[in-house]
Amino acid sequence: METMRAHVFHGVGRTSIEQVPIPEPKPGEALVRVTLTTICGTDLHIVRGEYPVKPGLVIGHEPVGVIAELGAGVTGYKVGERVLIGAITPCGQCRACLSGHLSQCGHGEGYEALGGWRFGNTINGAPAEYLIVPAAQANLAKIPDALTDEQVVLLADIASTGISGAESGGVRIGDTVAVFAQGPIGLCATAGAKLMGAALVIGIDRNPTRLETARRMGADVVVDARECDVVAEVRRLSGGGVDVAIEALGEQTTFEMALRVLRPGGTLSSLGVYSGKLQIPYEAFAAGIGDHRIVTTLCPGGKERMRRLMELVKHSRLDLTPLLTHHVSLEDIVEGYRIFGEQRDGVLKVAVKP
């Protein structure tokens, strides 16, 4: 049996590069030779034991590669074509998918919370020489020749997620938008708010390098949370409250601040992954009758989403390459995790080459 190198999760705090069998595509699947991937904050949660997956799983969910083999029934593709695959791989055929909730894709019958998130969660993921793509017909997005792997790899997850924060928030032309936290997802939410037509985008963080990058990604004003009363400052900048507040960290403090800067009738668009209990202070919520909307979104996936995001890059509306601050080989991925996890030397995203 032929083998390949893959980044395998063994248990809390333990991952390594292993030799594992090269999988074979079943009907409807595709085998992709991975040419570039990256490490996500969610992978850190997994390694730290904050999100459970089974030991032995290849973790990671942001693949770019080349089709190596097509399973029976996958049509319109050729071996050797370059493809981007979203972090979320909807089947396109279940009740959830056909109701438009692709990320909450079930397995045949009903809905399943986070069911569309399979790579590095319920099936093997991207940091490996080869990867099986489920529901390949719905998930292989051909990469235009003009685009490099580096230009598209961040579309699989963080750009799709970040931009969806602005989309789900219903940002309208002329809106004022505050984005809480300018990590990779928050930076993409900032770019998304700008793309959606916001007149004023306010980026908030505590890290000066990230605030600097926020300006490059489309923030008109940045607020350093170490230096001021954030809520008062954002309310002042927005003339009494923002139309849309995007939460991109997943903590009680930022969630609460996002609520407190919102105008009545405004939308809190939440992207963060929370743990434990999340509380809503009633006065910031106008006792529940302030016409506020709170919406949550899991990264949109599927090949049409990827195609649309690649169009943005192709036509120079979106450039994510400033976020790819570090590059490592698959052999050095554990070191990549360390740099990323400890937020060392200005890291935003680490590109990993198998």
Residues in touch with Zn ion (CB under 5 A): 40, 42, 90-91, 94, 97, 105, 157
Min CB(42)–Zn ion separation in Å: 4
- Tell me if residue 309 falls in helix, strand or coil: helix
Min CB(175)–Zn ion separation in Å: 27
Q: Which is nearer to Zn ion, 22 or 44 (CB)?
A: 44
Q: Which is nearer to Zn ion, 47 or 284 (CB)?
A: 47
Measured distance CA(302)–CA(157) in Å, rounded: 11
Q: Scanning the structure block, which residue is given the tokens 């668009």?
A: 269
CA distances in angstroms from 20 to 3, 27, 29, 71, 85, listed in the order given: 5, 22, 19, 20, 22
Q: Which is nearer to Zn ion, 22 or 273 (CB)?
A: 273
Give residue 162's identity as a one-letter amino acid code: G
Measured distance CA(284)–CA(250) in Å, rounded: 18
Q: Which is nearer to Zn ion, 149 or 157 (CB)?
A: 157
* DSSP assigned state of 106: -
Q: Determine how β-strand 242-247 pairs with β-strand 82-84.
A: unpaired
Which residues are CB-neighbours of 99 under 8 A, at least 6 positions away?
Answer: none
Q: Which is nearer to Zn ion, 43 or 167 (CB)?
A: 43
Min CB(165)–Zn ion separation in Å: 14
Tokens for 58, please give them.
């290849």
**Which residues pair with residue 6 across a beta bridge?**
18, 128
Q: Which is nearer to Zn ion, 93 or 209 (CB)?
A: 93
Min CB(37)–Zn ion separation in Å: 11
Min CB(26)–Zn ion separation in Å: 17
Q: Which is nearer to Zn ion, 40 or 333 (CB)?
A: 40
Tokens for 198, please give them.
């916001």
Min CB(238)–Zn ion separation in Å: 30
Min CB(93)–Zn ion separation in Å: 6
Measured distance CA(63)–CA(274) in Å, rounded: 25
Note the helical H segments in 53-144: 95-98, 136-139
